[in-house]
Amino acid sequence: MNTMRIDILNPKAAKLLKDLADLNLIAIQDTSKSGFADILKKLRSKAKSAPTLDEITKEVELVRSKRYAKEG
């Protein structure tokens, strides 16, 4: 199965796609409701403040040190 992202420029094209879906030739999934950007906005809206670059760096270094400690 191949997955494609298509920008519909003409409403007639949307009707054609709907007809193909009705014939079970394609499946249409609406990704606009649960897209990554929407989830990211929701998570960011709940945060009091964005982490600083130093905080991010410390967290990355902590995770890396734990990961490499297990491998070695």
| pLDDT, tens only, 17-63 | 999 999 999 999 876 666 788 888 888 888 888 888 999 999 999 99
Q: Is residue 20 part of a domain?
A: no
Q: Give the residue numbers spanning the domain of 60.
A: 47-72
The predicted model scores a pTM of: 0.43
* CA-based nearest residue to 4, from 21, 19, 26, 20: 26
Rg (CA), the chain: 21
Q: Is residue 67 part of a domain?
A: yes
- Residue 35 confidence (pLDDT): 75
The pLDDT of residue 34 is: 64
The Cα–Cα gap between 25 and 18 comes to: 10
Of all helices (H) and strands (E), which one includes residue 55? helix 53-71
Domain count for the chain: 1
Neighbours of 38 (CB within 10 A): 12
Q: What is the pLDDT of residues 14-24, one digit of tens each?
A: 999 999 999 99
Q: Note whether residue 64 is domain-resident.
A: yes
